[in-house]
Amino acid sequence: MTFVTRDNITDQVLEVFERTPDPRLREVMKSLVKHMHAFIREVEPSDHEFEQACEFVVGLGKATSEKKNEVILASDILGASTLITLINNVKRADAAGRMKTESALLGPFWRKNSPQYLDGSNISHGPESKVADQAFEVTGCVRDPNGIPIEGADVDVWHASPLGFYENQDEAQPDMNLRGKFKTNAQGRFSFKSVRPAGYPVPVDGPCGDLLRQQLRDPYRPAHVHYMISKPGYQVLITQVFADDDHRLHTDVTFSVVESLVGKFQQRTGPHEVGFELAYDFVLQPGEMLFPAPPIP
């Protein structure tokens, strides 16, 4: 063993990591250290900057609670979450190259035990339900890559209010408002009623907010509906469908908007019709049904 120098420290660390029995952990940690050391050599942080970086990471933990996951938020606003999703979208194509519906971020607001509803039910039960011109009817069909409808798939949906708040952020909304699970029928179809969601800022009261302000970034996301669609024998599809008329489609603070996930939020135009409709269909890929850990209870 030679003494550590600025020039040989990266190789010394990699040599130690070489002994890791788990091949994937070995690969991930070696690559992490190679890139981290290259980053440090490039920016040459001062001791004070290193302290600030450590404080930022500690702050992510401190700002994380049952209501908010600041670690996921940090990954989102750095574009890391979406990059991982985009890479895995390609991997999920089947042998014939057929893609399922593209995935998008789970986000920090999914709750596992939302209520089960009958097809066509209304999931809006708070004061927002009185705003008639924001009425929202959502329909969709779930199919396999051959176009065959999938019956009995679970369609778990959640979205923000017309004021841009999830129920767990808003004392005016009842528990589990604007969230629900639906089952597809024999034609693979589901539908529900709600209110049109608005775009909203990501939480800016933690270290991620400090960073966004220093970078002069708009903290808003465009309006969207979250979906998690599952059935045994298929990969769980986690995605979002974005409002086509939202002016923030190209400035989403989490970099989530891929073209295929923009849905037509159609305004109703009949003499007695108000509100909006969204029709968006989904394709599941056969595979193992694995659910993510809920970011909040």
Closer residue to Fe ion (CB): 70 or 144: 70
Given the rule CB under 5 A, which of 51-59, 102-110, 129-137, 287-295 is the region that contacts Fe ion?
102-110
Q: How far is the CB of 27 from Fe ion (least distance, A)?
A: 33
Q: How many residues bind Fe ion (CB under 5 A)?
A: 1
Given the rule CB under 5 A, which of 23-31, 86-94, 100-108, 250-258 is the region that contacts Fe ion?
100-108
Given the rule CB under 5 A, which of 44-52, 101-109, 117-125, 272-280 is the region that contacts Fe ion?
101-109
**CA 296 to CA 221: how far, in whole Å?**
20
DSSP symbols for 274-286: -SEEEE--EE--B
107 touches Fe ion by CB under 5 A: yes
Closer residue to Fe ion (CB): 107 or 207: 107
Please enumerate in sequence order all residues whose Cβ is within 8 A of that of 99, keeping only pairs 6 or more positions apart, or say none: 89, 92, 93, 145, 283, 285
CA dihedral 197, 143, 120, 173 (to 10 degrees): -30
Rounded (5°) CA angle 119-103-175: 45
Closer residue to Fe ion (CB): 165 or 276: 165
Q: How far is the CB of 17 from Fe ion (least distance, A)?
A: 37
**CA 251 to CA 149: how far, in whole Å?**
35
Q: Which residue is nearest to Fe ion (CB)?
A: 107
Q: How many residues does the chain have?
A: 297
Given the rule CB under 5 A, which of 37-45, 107-115, 144-152, 241-249 is the region that contacts Fe ion?
107-115
Cα–Cα distance list, 199 to 94, 163, 209, 275, 280 (Å): 34, 8, 17, 17, 19
Tell the residue number behind the tokens 């049904």, with chain if given: 289
108 touches Fe ion by CB under 5 A: no
Closer residue to Fe ion (CB): 166 or 282: 166
Closer residue to Fe ion (CB): 107 or 206: 107
Closer residue to Fe ion (CB): 140 or 222: 222
CA-based nearest residue to 265, from 242, 287, 284: 242
Q: Are 256 and 240 in contact (CB under 8 A)?
A: yes
**Segment 248-277, which members bind Fe ion (CB under 5 A)?**
none
Residues near Fe ion (CB under 5 A): 107
